[in-house]
Amino acid sequence: MTAATATTAETFRPALHFAARNTWLNDPNGLIFHSGVYHLYYQNNPLGNVWGNMSWGHATSTDLLTWTEHPVAIACDENEDIFSGSIVFDRENTSGFGTGSVAPLVAIYTSAFKPGSGHDGVQAQSLAYSLDGGYSWTKHTDNPVLSRGSAEFRDPKVIRYDGDAGSYWVMVAVEATDFQVVLYKSQDLRNWELLSTFGPANATGGVWECPDLFPLPVDGDPENLMWVLTINLNPGGPNNGSAGQYFVGDFDGITFTSATTVTEGQQDPDRLGDYQWLDWGRDYYAAVSFSDAPHNRRLMIAWMNNWEYANHIPTTPWRSPMSLAREISLRSSDGNLCLVQQPAGDWSALAGQESYCLSETTIHEGVLVLAGAAGTVQRIDVSFTPGSAEVFGLILRGDGAKGTRVGILPGEGKLFVDRRESGQTDFHGSFPSIDTAPVHPTDMAYSLTIFVDRCSVEVFAQGGQVTMTELIFPTGTSTDLSVYAVGGTATIHSLQVTQFA
């Protein structure tokens, strides 16, 4: 069914992203590749399409692009909501949850305890295990396994550490309102010992949530590993609301030492643009990486929404999609250590569809609709060289000159997404926006790879050095793709459009 013939209710259902059939979702949880399948669990309200009744929903994929939804994996009950967390494959059955030859998958999640539970108002870490590859789960009878008596201790990400300090499980979690990451170690996933804390540092404009910690080779050199600590925060992002920041440094098995801290303690509001962001757009939150991804790839998925307006976006019967999966790598340039991100799915099954090309074309003042390039689900690869124009770029999911503008302000060295005329915007006052990110041309050229879906735009600029992810809600008939310039000219070096629906 094309978007033009889709029912109004399903106009926004994504083609290349996961969204639940008819319920609410937020954070990705328990991402793991196991027995040839990518498992995506997620914060889910099984009973509605706004936040509540938090449980872990479940979907699987083999290509990271098409997903199958399964029954709820771990459900809330009268004592607890099941908040975010992670899953590990406990190969050696250190936890003892395995039986015979079956090693367990172990979920480490936050129990958000309800009044009357005996832990009223406390957030503590609990376990559940699966002996059938992640499809059915049993809660541990002795939960929680780690409590600090805190109401803001959540979002455990557990990794396996094998290094100079030994071989054990490491948990990173947050004391959210203290802007602190807390690190624990365990031999058996049941007993945990505090290792160290990190923070506050850099962005602290909102609570810290959903941390992750992983090693990456610098510039692909396996002899030169550094560690990346990612921390989502809400609000306090570079363009308001929810966003994810990261630090690069060293982890010795006990302490994470950042090499990229700009400010210690509480944030300096003037330095927001100096911090390192996983994404500069409004809709990339709670990003977390897969355990055990093949070939040591570091693959991340984020919730494509923003707590500022999350419960109000105009989709029905479902609400909130996930982002595309991204492969994360670490690059050093001019003494800086930066993450570079690429779309990670297996596109081969989808490729080879109708494609539109343009090269060496001058764009003049005004809007030029590209006949033959219209679509609702597209990959656009474009490279521009600035001329005299103050602003130039593309108009996506458009209706003539109205649409979502993705462009460059060459004088300011900025990429922007302007969604003020992107379609439905009036469901929340803070949704219509122009959002910017710093971007530097390479050999004078600005190159963008953009994934457009029925309710989203994901921009990978300069080979993935800067990304911007935003929701949009255009009508199903807003399909034009245009180029435009303001105040002069610019040149399209090359433009290619691949259609996916």
69 to 98, contacts with ligand FRU by CB under 6 A? Answer: 83-84
Q: In whole angstroms, what is the distance from residue 485 CA to residue 81 CA?
A: 51
Number of residues that bind ligand FRU (CB under 6 A): 12
Is residue 210 a contact point for ligand FRU (CB under 6 A)?
Answer: yes
Is residue 306 a contact point for ligand FRU (CB under 6 A)?
Answer: no
CB of 83 or CB of 168, closer to ligand FRU: 83
Which pairing describes strands 138-139 and 153-163: parallel, antiparallel, or unpaired? unpaired
Give the shortest CB-164-to-ligand FRU separation in angstroms: 32
Give the shortest CB-180-to-ligand FRU separation in angstroms: 14
156 to 175, contacts with ligand FRU by CB under 6 A? Answer: none
CB of 111 or CB of 376, closer to ligand FRU: 111
The residue from 69, 80, 90, 155 that contacts ligand FRU (CB under 6 A) is 155
Give the shortest CB-85-to-ligand FRU separation in angstroms: 8
Is residue 27 a contact point for ligand FRU (CB under 6 A)?
Answer: yes
Q: Residue 3: phi, psi to the nearest 5?
A: -60, -35
Residue 126 in tokens: 């609990």
The residue from 65, 124, 128, 286 that contacts ligand FRU (CB under 6 A) is 286
Give the shortest CB-184-to-ligand FRU separation in angstroms: 17
Q: Are 228 and 198 in contact (CB under 8 A)?
A: no
Is residue 212 a contact point for ligand FRU (CB under 6 A)?
Answer: no
Nearest to 238 by CA among 201, 187, 202, 272: 272
Q: Are 236 and 208 in contact (CB under 8 A)?
A: no
CB of 44 or CB of 376, closer to ligand FRU: 44
The residue from 12, 19, 33, 43 that contacts ligand FRU (CB under 6 A) is 43
CB of 210 or CB of 395, closer to ligand FRU: 210
Q: In whole angstroms, what is the distance from residue 501 CA to residue 475 CA?
A: 16
Residue 284, C-beta contacts closer than 8 angstroms, at least 6 positions apart:
243, 244, 278, 302, 303, 304, 323, 467, 469
Give the shortest CB-283-to-ligand FRU separation in angstroms: 12
Residue 79, C-beta contacts closer than 8 angstroms, at least 6 positions apart:
111, 113, 114, 116, 117, 118
Q: In whole angstroms, what is the distance from residue 262 CA to residue 275 CA?
A: 7
270 as an active site residue: the answer is no
Residue 446: enclosing H or E segment and its boundaries? strand 446-453
CB of 26 or CB of 130, closer to ligand FRU: 26
CB of 148 or CB of 331, closer to ligand FRU: 148
Nearest to 416 by CA among 387, 398, 390, 397: 390
Is residue 49 a contact point for ligand FRU (CB under 6 A)?
Answer: no
- Tell me which residue has tokens 């949704």: 431
Give the shortest CB-25-to-ligand FRU separation in angstroms: 10
The residue from 34, 58, 140, 154 that contacts ligand FRU (CB under 6 A) is 154
Which 8-state DSSP code applies to residue 445?
B
The residue from 23, 26, 55, 456 that contacts ligand FRU (CB under 6 A) is 26
Across-strand partners of 417? 406, 435
106 to 125, contacts with ligand FRU by CB under 6 A? Answer: 110
Apex 323 CA angle, 220 and 174, nearest 5: 75
Apex 225 CA angle, 220 and 226, nearest 5: 115
Q: Annotated catalytic residue: which of 27, 155, 435, 453?
A: 27
The residue from 209, 212, 458, 480 that contacts ligand FRU (CB under 6 A) is 209
Q: In whole angstroms, what is the distance from residue 419 CA to residue 403 CA?
A: 7
CB of 52 or CB of 133, closer to ligand FRU: 52
Q: In whole angstroms, what is the distance from residue 31 CA to residue 95 CA?
A: 19
Catalytic residue positions? 27
Point out which residues bind ligand FRU (CB under 6 A): 26-27, 43, 54, 83-84, 110, 154-155, 209-210, 286
